[in-house]
Amino acid sequence: MDTLKAMERFSDHPEAKDKILKLVMSNVELPDIEFEQMEPGLRNNVFIHILFDNKKDNPTGSDAALIKYLPGAFVPLHLHRGYEMVLVLQGEYIENGEINTPGSLIIRAPGTTHSMRSNTGCVILAMRDIPVKQLT
Ligand SMILES: [Fe+2]
């Protein structure tokens, strides 16, 4: 399924729009917490610290995590079936080619797609109300 067809399938939120707010923040210090590799083979050099995960009992459940991109990390295109909210905490987070620095609060609406990378590394706080659909 190509991206356009996938988006048409989830056109039940026609009013939904992406939002990006630039909050005034500098790099956030993190406590000493452990990260594990996230979806190896799909996400390259991406590590996760799960905050909560309701997908284990419910395939349409929500989740939230701190996600660390090592320098050069890349995540291929996926489709949002629900909302996703990302707050950049450290470094430089690039979504669909746009650079986001600490304080960038990104709300992705249902039916939108994105790919992500970081050239120099970053940490984000991410929350999704429904799991995404991988497109590539
Ligand atoms: Fe996403």
2-29 pLDDT tens trace: 444 444 444 555 666 788 999 999 999 9
Give 80 Cα–ligand 1 centroid separation in angstroms.
6
Q: Identify the pLDDT of residue 6.
A: 43
Q: Identify the pLDDT of residue 43.
A: 85
Q: Which residues of 7-30 are buried (b: 16+ CB within 10 A; e: fewer)?
A: beebeeeeebebeeeeeeeeeeee
Q: Where are the domains of the chain?
A: 3-134
pLDDT in tens, 99-131: 999 999 999 988 888 899 999 999 999 999 887
Tell me how far apart the alpha carbons of residues 45 and 68 are, in angstroms, rounded to a whole number: 8
**Of 58 and 99, the one with more pLDDT:** 99
Give 126 Cα–ligand 1 centroid separation in angstroms.
8
Give 8 Cα–ligand 1 centroid separation in angstroms.
18
Give 32 Cα–ligand 1 centroid separation in angstroms.
25
Tell me how far apart the alpha carbons of residues 48 and 54 are, in angstroms, rounded to a whole number: 16
DSSP single-letter state for residue 29? P
**Of 130 and 70, the one with more pLDDT:** 70
Per-chain residues with Cβ under 5 A from ion ligand 1:
84
**What is the pTM for the complete model shown?**
0.86
Return the CATH number of 3-134, one of 2.60.120.10, 1.10.150.120, 3.90.700.10, 2.60.40.1120: 2.60.120.10
Q: If you average pLDDT over every residue of the chain, what do you get?
A: 87
